[in-house]
Amino acid sequence: MDKRILLPTDYSQNAWNAIIYAMDLYQNVRCDFYILNAFQVSGYTLDSMRVPETGEPYYEAAKQESEEAMQRVMQMIELHPRNDKHRFHTKTTLNSLTEAVKSTVAKKDIDLIVMGTKGITESKARIFGTNTVNVMEQIRECPVIAVPNGYRLGGLKEIVFPTDYRTAFKKRKMSDLVELARLWDAKINVVHIDRDRDGTLDRKEQANKELLQEILQGTDHEMHFLPADKISRGINTFIDDNGCDMVAFLNKKHLFFGSILSNPLVKKIGYDPKVPILELNDN
């Protein structure tokens, strides 16, 4: 079955950049790309008592504007070298982005979401845009890749995967990480983060480590140790020193990472994303 990838867009440069990244990342995979725009109508809010309907001038104007912008996106895609493995589908809808994404994920059996870290209205001071945070937090059915503004894929050779080994890993939850590593012959750097000790593991943690090693069999991977008091500099330094192309997180709520963006390791390490983040859900 072809891979089904959802590409939300607000027609910003960052969103366009994420579309190009997804096409490049899966250039050798048969994919159905679903490009989605959730538009709003000026003067209305989605939680108001009255929602604009088909035929009303404000609705029709907003719908036309969204559809014309989508046509421009498709024209830009056509300017890129043709890839016979890729098919594109488009949808514009009056909705909040999160609800539109949720609906599309369910109806189209989406495997992966790829989106930019910020949209056209986001403050430069904000590391992640509100829409990206909402999608990562509320969509638990599939992984999300968040692509920093201006990032272009030059290859995928080194991936960082931080963990504390305190929860059991599941093969199906790690499948997208393993798939990417095999696609690109990339190395997965498992970085053990220890808040309390010197890197020694108790029996449960050791069992989880061995389980992870079993899951990663067939990929190039290496285990590293990083003391917790150096999280802030350590992971960023690791990314820079090893020329890493992606950071993967297992987003398990209420545990070590908490919810990675609302109570995030991202904030904890002061991580201003220079490379894409693959968020894997463990729900």
Question: Rounded to two decimals, what is the model's pTM?
Answer: 0.88
Q: Tokens 């989508």 label which residue? A: 70
Q: Tokens 């696609």 label which residue? A: 183
Model confidence pLDDT, tens digit, residues 118-130: 766 555 445 566 7
Q: Is the pLDDT of residue 11 over 90?
A: yes
Opening angle at CA 115, ends 131 and 75, nearest 5: 120
Q: Is the pLDDT of residue 175 over 50?
A: yes
Do 206 and 129 sit in the same domain of this protein?
A: no
How many Cβ atoms from other residues are within 10 Å of residue 17's Cβ?
Answer: 18
**22 assigned to some structural domain:** yes
Q: Residue 48 — very low, low, confident or very high, per pLDDT cuts 50/70/90?
A: low
Half-sphere exposure of 187 (CA within 13 A, CB side): 12
Task: Share the mean pLDDT of the chain.
Answer: 84
Strand 277-281: give its sheet, edge to edge.
86-94, 31-39, 3-8, 112-116, 144-147, 277-281, 246-251, 158-163, 187-194, 220-227
Q: Tokens 């790309």 label which residue? A: 33
Compare 145 and 225 and report the one with higher pLDDT.
Answer: 145
Question: Between 57-78 and 13-25, two packed helices, what is the crossing angle to 10 degrees?
Answer: 40
Q: Tokens 């997208």 label which residue? A: 176
Q: Which helix (H) or strand (E) holds 23?
A: helix 13-25
Do 182 and 72 sit in the same domain of this protein?
A: no
Do 122 and 9 sit in the same domain of this protein?
A: yes
Compare 7 and 282 and report the one with higher pLDDT.
Answer: 7
* Domain boundary pick from 147, 175, 206: 147
Q: How many domains, in total, are found in the chain?
A: 2
**55 assigned to some structural domain:** yes
**What is the rounded distance in angstroms from the CA atom of residue 247 to the CA atom of residue 239?**
8
Do 37 and 105 sit in the same domain of this protein?
A: yes
Q: Is the pLDDT of residue 94 over 50?
A: yes
* Domain boundary pick from 147, 174, 208: 147
* Domain boundary pick from 89, 119, 147: 147
CATH value at residue 211: 3.40.50.620
Where in the sequence is the domain holding 84, given as residue range(s)? 3-147
Per-position DSSP letters for 91-135, written without gaps between them: EEEES-HHHHHHHHHHHHT--EEEEES--TT--TT-SS-HHHHHH
pLDDT of residue 55: 61
Distances, alpha carbon 238 to alpha carbons 162, 234, 244, 269, in Å: 11, 6, 8, 12
Q: Is the pLDDT of residue 105 over 50?
A: yes
**153 assigned to some structural domain:** no
**72 assigned to some structural domain:** yes
Q: What is the percent of the chain where pLDDT is above 70?
A: 79
